[in-house]
Chains A and B, each alone.
Chain A
Amino acid sequence: MTPVGAIVAKELRSYFVSPIVYVVGSVFLLIFGVLSYAYVVLAGSQAVRMMQLQGTAAQLNLNDLVFRPTFGSMAIVLLLALPLLTMRLFAEERKLRTFELLMTSPIGINEIVFGKFLGAYVIFLGLLGLTGLVPLVLSMYSSFDWNPILTGYLGLALLGALFVAAGVLASALTENQIVAAFLSFGLLLLVWLLGGLGAILGDTPLGNIFAYLSFFEHFDRLVRGLIDTKDLVYFLCGLVLLLFLAHRVVEAQRWK
């Protein structure tokens, strides 16, 4: 096993004994279930109304009525949940002085940062994978287009990667886990709000820049079933930038 693999395995082990993961994970799955159920019920009542008006049974579009709004709402849940998952990554090592072991082992800071990122990301992917039950179950009772669902999951996976990387950065900045969680939450919310600001400024140069910087537009296109290289590049660059910054922060702290 490579050093990165060892760090990932160790992070997973630590997560599985931590109550935070179970709490965050349960709430995450519960909200996904409740949201999709609510949208299904809503879609059902609309269908009933349409049947009363038109007298025919209209084909329900579950993609538009259920999955799109569910994925959209999940982005907010990720914003709240992932900082709680990532806050311990570096902060805890600092606090408990185990950081000295990592930093005096013959591995690079990039391996430590990447290992920690992957450890938290695998947990998130596991939770996201469990939500796949919802479309699977729905597909047994109705038919819908799988493509936007797969791109929607890709969008959530990419968004999650970005959020986890932001959490890694925040956790590297402090040895207080609460501060780390709040930092990443604040950072992500700020970037999100940039999108709103961009929308207000409209089609001006500044407005376009803000809109591009925010993840909302990029994520939304994926949820609507559109795969655009531009959006993939956005997520990839954001991820690399955040992990690079985390690397710099860890490195800079050696010089204090």
Chain B
Amino acid sequence: MIEARDMTKRYGDLTAIERVTFTVAKGEVLAFLGPNGAGKTTTMRILTCFMPATEGTALVAGFDCFEQPVEVKRRIGYLPETPPVYQELTVTEYLTFVGRIKGMGTAALRAGLDRVVERLSLGDVRHRLIANLSRGYRQRVGLAQALLHDPPVLILDEPTVGLDPKQIIEIRELIKSLAGSHTVILSTHILPEATAVCQRVVIINAGRIVAEDQPDRLSARLRRSEKLSITVKAPPADLAGRLRALPGVLAVFEPTDGGAFLLECALGRDLRDDIARFIVTNGWGLLELKTVSITLEDVFLHLTQHEAGMETGSGTTETQEPTL
């Protein structure tokens, strides 16, 4: 449903994301997990056609974000980092405006309005000015806006930021209930959120994807793996596959910038000898081989390990320290 291929975005000299590649299957809920400044918002803005990528392509529902932005936009509901609400409108007026610019007819709009008001419990504030609503309600109005035209794809940028624990749980339940019928990408810098809501997690750090897996597998891998970085002078096209086939290698990540492959190996095994021999005997030219200190653990250290306010919450499973 969503396919990002080698997306790079530069703001002047600053490279916000670099060769970001991932896919999301239909009906899947994917978390984009990374510390602040990792490039989550940038990635989402490219997927929603808010801005074009400097390099690379993005496809949503088979349409190219650059070539056919209108087709893509029709199929996406987007909640930006800051809920895009007009203070001077009431909730109903605002949602009506959104429906109209999304091209909804009167009947569809009325039905959609009732549906999102019900789903996000906005009934009490329907006729209140958005200026007078609390942060939590504004966030919900923002979500209602994204869901209004019932798009098949939802892109939610940090949807639970600024909410209280009860609201966070409600929103997470809502997102979970969208799985299957909708394709969802949500971004977060909170580790338990990603594991609680999503079927798959993409971890992004400093503009690059550093890991991608199901939450439980990711944590398991994190606990039992060593990482190696190797640079090869003339790698064959299928080097990643060949490395993956070596005994003891758990996963191989393709080079990002300097041509370094990142290998995850089984814990306690030092594969450096084997891999060096493998590359040298094949004559590909080993330029560098080292154990890596920048690992997923380092990325996770930048992530919020626990959720502010959740400890005092109603004692849900999310209040425990992450197991990673």
Contacts and interface: CB of A to CB of B under 8 A. Distances in A.
B118 to A, nearest CB: 22
A254 interface: yes
B102 A105 contact: yes
B80 A101 contact: yes
B84 A97 contact: yes
Interface stretch (A3-11, A22-30, A185-193): A3-11
Of listed A5, A17, A103, A105, residue having the most chain B CB within 10 A: A105
Contacts of B86: 10, 14, 96, 98
Contacts of A100: 45, 50, 78, 80, 82, 84
Contact of B93 (A13, A108, A254, A255): A13
A104 interface: yes
Interface string A80-120: 00000000000000001111111111111000000000000
Contact of A3 (B71, B78, B82, B103): B103
A256 interface: yes
Given A13-B88, A255-B51, A255-B52, A101 B145 contact: yes
Interface in A102-149: 102-108
A155 B50 CA distance: 39
A10 B85 CA distance: 12
A18 to B, nearest CB: 8
B52 A254 contact: yes
Nearest to A97: B82
Interface string B81-100: 11011111100010001101
Contacts of B50: 100, 103-104, 254
A1 interface: yes
Given A100-B50, A104-B48, A5 B100 contact: yes
Interface string A14-52: 100110000000000000000000000000000000000
B20 interface: no
A105 B73 contact: yes
Contacts of A3: 100-101, 103
B101 A7 contact: yes
Interface in B151-176: none
Nearest to B142: A101
B88 A106 contact: no
Nearest to B74: A106
Contacts of B85: 98
Interface bracket on A: 20 to 34
Contacts, number: 75
B151 to A, nearest CB: 10
B76 interface: yes
Given A101-B145, A254-B51, A106 B84 contact: no
B234 interface: no
Contact of A101 (B70, B87, B98): B98
B49 interface: yes
Contacts of B87: 96
Of listed A18, A107, A256, residue having the most chain B CB within 10 A: A107
A108 B82 CA distance: 22
Interface string B10-33: 010000000000000000000000
Contact of B103 (A7, A104, A106): A106
Given A6-B101, A104-B49, A107-B101, A17 B84 contact: no
A98 B84 contact: yes
B195 to A, nearest CB: 28
A10 B103 CA distance: 15
A93 to B, nearest CB: 9
Contacts of A104: 48-50, 73, 76, 78, 80
Contacts of A7: 101
Given A100-B50, A101-B80, A101-B98, A106 B89 contact: no
Nearest to B86: A98
A31 to B, nearest CB: 27
A102 to B, nearest CB: 7
B80 A106 contact: no
Contacts of B89: 10, 13-14
A113 to B, nearest CB: 14
A102 B49 contact: no
Of listed A1, A5, A255, residue having the most chain B CB within 10 A: A1
Contacts of B145: 101
A9 B73 CA distance: 22
Nearest to B75: A106
Given A96-B84, A100-B84, A104-B49, 16 more contacts: A2-B100, A3-B101, A6-B97, A10-B97, A17-B88, A96-B86, A96-B87, A97-B80, A98-B85, A100-B82, A104-B80, A105-B73, A105-B101, A106-B73, A107-B101, A108-B70
Q: 7 smallest A-B Cβ distances: which pairs?
A: A6-B100, A101-B84, A97-B82, A106-B73, A98-B84, A100-B80, A106-B74
24 contacts: A3-B100, A3-B101, A6-B97, A6-B101, A10-B89, A10-B97, A13-B93, A14-B88, A17-B88, A18-B88, A96-B84, A96-B86, A97-B84, A98-B84, A98-B85, A99-B84, A100-B78, A105-B73, A106-B70, A106-B71, A106-B74, A106-B102, A254-B51, A255-B51
